[in-house]
């Protein structure tokens, strides 16, 4: 959530600092061997860059937060070892070091951000907007609470984010793609070719004789990997799923009433809303003069027209009291009757007059309308709690040395035995094994484990838990030629047909490029139909397969070439024309390509800048503390230069 909230308020340049540069930073640091390894420092200090020290706790918290984000995105549990193989530890440390570099540079440059600018950034953040598209104070407070933050803490972090962005903007704000490169991109990406083509069918290869035993044996030996029986494993599995523990009938009316009373203020009461307009004046005197006009009979609409303001300039929307950012405006607006106009109100943006339009009174959804919903909700909450209790009991039994079957019996449930399953979830008859809870995740883990190995619990996508043990393994094996002879012969015949077609196509292409008419060749090969495509571009064509497109741009104008047809034949084509449109900077497709190229330019410029800052500030890594923080060997360590 926090990563999403931060990203929402940053430009693409700001995001580049936090994301794209990570790969460069990892390389530039040499990572596990950079600078010096700490000596004589506090054991809780993991890294130092300039005057900033990154603690083990800071790294661990950032690592766990990113791991949880990855698990939510993948909708499955991710083990620590798996995360390390994906380089998560390196990415997190690189991000923390990058932030520290930019924080120190912003301080060195004397940069500062005013409170009003931070407020504007937060008000614009989509994460904090309600259904009406306006900043929602209650939503903001709820998100802060859910993420364990205080308002002051978030404002401080947002200040750092904006200052980092200012540093990056100063470096890459004026970078543009050179004109010569833009023209080259236009020529390469937007060139359109027109071709004639026809398909040489597989039958053109002629009759393919039956292969000899020696040919078939050689083909089989050269392609053994294609004729392997899958590895099968016998698994013992156990699953605890909240959905199977739900008991709505056990929820009493008193339980429902209590839940309703606890949540109605947030969920079932729609607070009073008011349609508000606001005119901002440069000072209190101007606002007072305008209020005097209104008191003298002038309408608010006339005052808007007099100041040449649009509805967008004055409309605050139909909002609740808590959705207004300025408390003084909120208090004034919600103390007025419908149609009323406030006295001048001082705000951080000037003095304002607030006009109240239509008032929508508070409404409350009665208990009887939501009783069934709350009953199911309570049952689900209890089921999740019960699943958690069962999980803890099972894990306790496993920690005591019990097998999965023994642990299941202790808590009153049963394991499931799957006699044979391959890594794709199929049995020996090549039929899917039904009912494997979180199958892809469980099978991936099971086929990375071994008989008798300790295995980790899996948190399933539906809020449940799954366990497995590998009971036995039937290794993959090469199937005898006698068992797969028909399959081997079909493969040999297909390859032999492709070879003959390729050789024949080469002869035909040579003849056409030597002066023979393209249409004449098509006629000689059985009056094959010639098709035309005038829209072949490197990005693809609706009428030509992608491999043919690549071949079309691999030869010159008026030349002939060939490429394999995905349907099994061979396509011969002749390039008739090539057109490069004039460069149009407003062409949406061209603009998109240029933006991608520009992104690479910006990344390179920012990466070089950060590399120099790294050298200036100096970086040290405590490899031992890093290894301890992520639960293993940090990957070599050692002193670097």
H helix intervals, 514-587: 518-524, 546-552
Whether 457 shows a pLDDT value over 80: the answer reads yes
pLDDT for residue 625: 78
Q: How many beta carbons lie within 10 A of that of residue 162, not counting itself?
A: 18
Cα–Cα dist 416/239, whole Å: 9
Which two three-digit tokens encode residue 41? 């420092």
Whether this prediction's pTM lies above 0.85 is answered by no
Q: Read off the DSSP letter of residue 134.
A: S
Pairing state of beta strands 619-621 and 36-37? parallel
Pick the residue with more confidence: 507 or 270? 507
Q: List CB contacts of 8: < 8 A, sequence separation 6 or more.
A: 125, 126, 127
At residue 632 the predicted structure's pLDDT band, cuts being 50, 70 and 90, is: low
**Which run of H or E residues covers position 573?**
strand 570-579
| Helix, coil or strand: residue 50 | coil
Q: Once rounded to an integer, what is the mean pLDDT over residues 10-14?
A: 38
H helix intervals, 447-575: 481-513, 518-524, 546-552
Cα–Cα dist 167/109, whole Å: 9
Pick the residue with more confidence: 212 or 323? 212
**Which run of H or E residues covers position 602?**
helix 588-617
Pick the residue with more confidence: 358 or 2? 358
CB 497 within 8 A of CB 206: no
pLDDT for residue 1: 41
pLDDT for residue 15: 40
Pairing state of beta strands 45-49 and 619-621? antiparallel
What's the angle, vertex CA 607, arms to CA 605 and CA 613, rounded to 5? 110
Cα–Cα dist 547/197, whole Å: 14
Q: Which of 57-61, 211-215, 278-282 has the highest mean pLDDT?
A: 211-215
Which two three-digit tokens encode residue 74? 């993948």
Whether 12 shows a pLDDT value over 70: the answer reads no
CB 1 within 8 A of CB 125: no
Q: Read off the DSSP letter of residue 82.
A: H
pLDDT for residue 43: 62
Phi, then psi, of 42 in degrees rounded to 5 = -60, 140
Give the rounded distance of the alpha carbon of 318 from its chain centre: 34
pLDDT for residue 580: 92
280 forms bridges with which residues in the sheet? 352
Which two three-digit tokens encode residue 111? 């940069």
Whether 18 shows a pLDDT value over 50: the answer reads no
Cα–Cα dist 18/586, whole Å: 30
Cα–Cα dist 357/368, whole Å: 33
Q: Once rounded to an integer, what is the mean pLDDT over residues 295-308?
A: 91
Whether 8 shows a pLDDT value over 50: the answer reads no
Rounded to 10 degrees, the C-alpha dihedral 446/448/452/458 comes to -50
CB 276 within 8 A of CB 332: no
pLDDT for residue 13: 37
Q: What confidence tens digit (pLDDT) does each residue in 418-431 have? A: 999 999 999 999 99
Whether 6 shows a pLDDT value over 50: the answer reads no
Convert 221-250 into a string of H (helix), E (strand) and C (coil).
Answer: HHCHHHHEECCEEEEEEEEECHHHHCCHHH
CB 59 within 8 A of CB 92: yes
At residue 21 the predicted structure's pLDDT band, cuts being 50, 70 and 90, is: very low
Q: What confidence tens digit (pLDDT) does each residue in 97-147 have? A: 888 888 888 888 888 888 778 888 888 888 887 766 777 777 787 788 777
At residue 276 the predicted structure's pLDDT band, cuts being 50, 70 and 90, is: very high
pLDDT for residue 131: 67
At residue 585 the predicted structure's pLDDT band, cuts being 50, 70 and 90, is: confident
pLDDT for residue 520: 96
What domains does the chain contain, in order, with CATH numbers? 2-175+595-630 (1.10.4030.10), 192-226+482-579 (3.10.50), 232-246+377-475 (3.10.50), 269-364 (3.10.50.40)
What's the angle, vertex CA 568, arms to CA 563 and CA 569, rounded to 5? 55
Cα–Cα dist 271/13, whole Å: 40
H helix intervals, 252-403: 253-267, 284-295, 300-306, 311-314, 327-333, 367-399
Whether 450 shows a pLDDT value over 50: the answer reads yes
Whether 157 shows a pLDDT value over 90: the answer reads no
Which two three-digit tokens encode residue 503? 């050789």
Whether 17 shows a pLDDT value over 60: the answer reads no
At residue 258 the predicted structure's pLDDT band, cuts being 50, 70 and 90, is: very high
What contacts 24+ positions apart, CB below 8 Å, involve 506-513?
Answer: 506/562, 508/200, 508/562, 508/572, 509/560, 509/561, 509/562, 509/572, 512/560, 512/572, 512/574, 513/559, 513/560
At residue 592 the predicted structure's pLDDT band, cuts being 50, 70 and 90, is: confident
At residue 631 the predicted structure's pLDDT band, cuts being 50, 70 and 90, is: low
Closest by CA to 60, choosing from 38, 86, 21, 89, is 89
Rounded to 10 degrees, the C-alpha dihedral 506/507/512/518 comes to -80
Q: List CB contacts of 603: < 8 A, sequence separation 6 or more.
A: 16, 20, 21, 24
- The mean pLDDT of the chain is 85
Whether 37 shows a pLDDT value over 70: the answer reads no
Q: State what percent of residues in the chain have pLDDT above 70.
A: 91
Cα–Cα dist 345/328, whole Å: 7
Which two three-digit tokens encode residue 239? 């699953």
Tokens 């739900």, residue located:
246
Q: State what percent of residues in the chain have pLDDT above 90.
A: 49
Q: Once rounded to an integer, what is the mean pLDDT over residues 185-201?
A: 92
pLDDT for residue 524: 95
- Least confident window among 78-92, 367-381, 499-513: 78-92
Whether 470 shows a pLDDT value over 80: the answer reads yes
From its phi and psi, is residue 87 left (phi > 0), alpha (psi between -120 and 50) or beta? left
Whether 629 shows a pLDDT value over 90: the answer reads no
């Amino acid at each position: 959530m926090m990563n999403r909230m931060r990203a929402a308020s940053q430009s693409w340049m700001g995001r580049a600092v936090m994301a794209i540069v990570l790969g460069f930073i990892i390389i530039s640091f040499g990572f596990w061997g950079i600078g010096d390894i700490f000596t004589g420092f506090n054991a809780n200090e993991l890294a130092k860059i300039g005057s900033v020290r990154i603690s083990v706790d800071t790294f661990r918290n950032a690592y766990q937060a990113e791991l949880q984000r990855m698990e939510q995105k993948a909708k499955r549990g991710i083990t620590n070892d798996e995360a390390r193989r994906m380089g998560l530890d390196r990415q997190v440390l690189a991000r923390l070091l990058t932030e520290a570099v930019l924080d120190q540079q912003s301080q060195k440059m004397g940069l500062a951000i005013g409170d009003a600018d931070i407020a504007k950034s937060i008000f614009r953040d989509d994460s904090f907007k309600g259904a009406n598209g306006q900043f929602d104070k209650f939503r903001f407070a709820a998100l802060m609470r859910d993420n364990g933050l205080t308002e002051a803490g978030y404002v401080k972090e947002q200040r750092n984010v904006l200052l980092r962005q200012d540093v990056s903007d100063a470096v890459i704000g004026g970078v543009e793609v050179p004109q010569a490169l833009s023209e080259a991109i236009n020529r390469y990406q937007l060139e359109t070719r027109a071709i004639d083509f026809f398909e040489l069918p597989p039958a053109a290869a002629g009759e393919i004789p039956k292969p000899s035993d020696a040919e078939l044996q050689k083909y089989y030996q050269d392609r053994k990997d294609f004729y392997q029986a899958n590895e099968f494993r016998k698994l013992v599995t156990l699953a605890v799923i909240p959905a199977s523990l739900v008991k709505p009938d056990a929820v009493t009316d008193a339980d429902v009433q209590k839940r309703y009373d606890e949540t109605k203020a947030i969920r079932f009461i729609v607070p009073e809303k008011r349609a508000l307009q606001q005119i901002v004046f440069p000072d209190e005197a101007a606002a007072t003069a305008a209020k005097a006009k209104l008191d003298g009979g002038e309408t608010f609409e006339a005052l808007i027209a007099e100041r040449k303001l649009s509805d967008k300039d004055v409309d605050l929307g139909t909002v609740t009291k808590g959705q207004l950012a300025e408390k003084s405006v909120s208090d004034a607006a919600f103390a007025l009757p419908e149609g009323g106009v406030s006295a001048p109100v001082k705000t951080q943006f000037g003095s304002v007059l607030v006009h109240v339009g239509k008032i929508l009174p508070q409404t409350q959804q009665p208990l009887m309308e939501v009783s069934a919903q709350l009953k199911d909700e309570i049952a689900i909450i209890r089921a999740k709690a019960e699943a958690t209790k069962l999980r803890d009991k099972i894990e306790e039994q496993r920690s005591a040395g019990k097998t999965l079957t023994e642990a299941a019996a202790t808590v009153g449930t049963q394991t499931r035995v799957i006699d044979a399953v391959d890594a794709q979830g199929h049995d020996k008859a090549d039929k899917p094994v039904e009912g494997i809870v979180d199958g892809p995740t469980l099978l991936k883990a099971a086929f990375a484990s071994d008989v008798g190995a300790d295995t980790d619990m899996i948190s399933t996508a539906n809020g449940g838990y799954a366990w497995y043990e590998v009971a036995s393994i039937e290794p993959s094996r090469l199937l005898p030629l006698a068992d797969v002879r028909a399959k081997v012969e079909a493969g040999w015949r297909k390859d032999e047909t492709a070879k003959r077609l390729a050789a024949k196509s080469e002869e035909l292409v040579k003849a056409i490029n030597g002066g023979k008419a393209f249409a004449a060749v098509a006629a000689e090969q059985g009056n094959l139909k010639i098709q035309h495509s005038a829209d072949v571009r490197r990005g693809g064509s609706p009428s030509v397969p992608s491999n043919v497109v690549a071949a079309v741009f691999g030869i010159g104008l008026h030349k002939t070439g060939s490429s394999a047809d995905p349907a099994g034949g061979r396509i011969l084509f002749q390039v008739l024309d090539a057109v490069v449109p004039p460069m149009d900077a407003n062409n949406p497709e061209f603009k998109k390509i240029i933006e991608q190229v520009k992104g690479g330019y910006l990344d390179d410029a920012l990466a070089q800048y950060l590399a120099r800052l790294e050298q200036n500030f100096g970086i040290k890594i405590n490899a031992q503390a890093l290894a301890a923080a992520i639960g293993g060997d940090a990957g070599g360590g050692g002193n670097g230069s």
